[in-house]
């Protein structure tokens, strides 16, 4: 199994950054230099995203397969920070490889992106399936609609959308197979019953106006995790590290006691 692409910089405690669906590690550009002053950063491109390979990860459990590709790049005693889909991978790493992890930081994350029995803080399954169909027909337009949804509810939408497009398209269009595999993970992953088995300290960072992952999903995680702290950002959508950079960094340094 081929390894994922990792960029390492800085010195200090190991901090692993895992981006979300359709993105790559360049999304962390606004915060990487500040974080690298305090941490040894490991910026990972998720399987099928950025410079990481897409083959070898096909199978019935997309999240498990993606996680297995990442684990060899995970330093011992890491703080793992995951955003959106990256947050689900961070939780899966915590469950499957607990000895490798010191702490989790989950940004705009949910145990399930779609509604299920007794899980209402998500989109309907048919909505996500329709999104997949549109992705096959017109990838560029579908991604642009996705970007618009990510900034919804934020106080500076125009500026934020410009930043988002700048960082993402710098590497060209995302790989179609990688997008499909990542979307399969979003569609099939359900960690609700496993949350109680996460033993690491968890920091939850979430926008109060997040249109992709409702804030109540973060509140549920806070109530059901063994050891967690929840920080909500006002006037913030799905991407707090881009829209509320100073508050985001301040929160990271505070919760990691830097």
Is 84 designated active site? yes
Q: What three-state secondary structure class fits 10?
A: coil
Q: Which of 238, 243, 244, 251 is catalytic?
A: 238
Could you tell me which residues are beta bridge partners of residue 83?
A: 107
Is 238 designated active site? yes
Contact 218, 230 (CB under 8 A): yes
Q: Which of 210, 228, 244, 251 is catalytic?
A: 210
Q: What three-state secondary structure class fits 29?
A: helix
- The helix (run of H) or strand (run of E) holding residue 83 is strand 78-83
Residue 51 CB partners (closer than 8 Å, separation 6+): 5, 24, 45, 171
Between CA 248 and CA 258 the distance in angstroms is 13
Q: Would you put residue 173 in left (φ > 0), alpha (ψ -120 to 50) or beta?
A: beta
Is 96 designated active site? no
Q: What is the DSSP letter of 77?
A: T
Q: Which of 25, 52, 78, 84 is catalytic?
A: 84
Contact 163, 244 (CB under 8 A): no
Tell me the catalytic residues: 84, 210, 238
């Amino acid at each position: 199994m081929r390894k994922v692409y990792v960029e390492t910089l800085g010195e200090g405690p190991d901090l692993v950054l895992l981006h979300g669906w359709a993105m790559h590690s360049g999304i962390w550009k606004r915060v990487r230099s500040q974080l690298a002053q305090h941490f040894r950063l490991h910026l990972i491109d998720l399987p099928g995203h950025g410079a990481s390979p897409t083959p070898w990860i096909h199978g019935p459990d997309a999240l498990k397969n993606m996680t297995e590709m990442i684990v060899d790049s995970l330093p011992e005693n890491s703080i793992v920070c995951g955003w959106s889909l990256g947050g689900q991978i961070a939780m899966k790493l915590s469950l499957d490889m607990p000895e490798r992890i010191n702490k989790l930081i989950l940004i705009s994350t949910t145990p399930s992106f779609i509604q299920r029995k007794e899980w209402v803080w998500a989109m309907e399954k048919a909505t996500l399936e329709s999104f997949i169909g549109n992705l096959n027909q017109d990838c560029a337009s579908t991604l642009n609609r996705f970007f618009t949804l990510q900034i919804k509810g934020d106080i500076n939408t125009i500026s934020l959308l410009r930043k988002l497009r700048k960082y993402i398209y710098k590497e060209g269009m995302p790989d179609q197979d990688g997008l499909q595999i990542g979307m399969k993970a979003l569609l099939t992953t359900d960690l609700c019953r496993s949350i109680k088995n996460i033993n690491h300290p968890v920091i939850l960072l979430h926008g109060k106006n997040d249109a992709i992952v409702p804030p109540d999903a973060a509140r549920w995680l806070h109530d059901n995790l063994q050891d967690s702290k929840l920080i909500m950002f006002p006037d913030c959508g799905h991407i707090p590290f881009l829209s509320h950079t100073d508050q985001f960094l301040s929160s990271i340094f505070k919760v990691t006691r830097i």
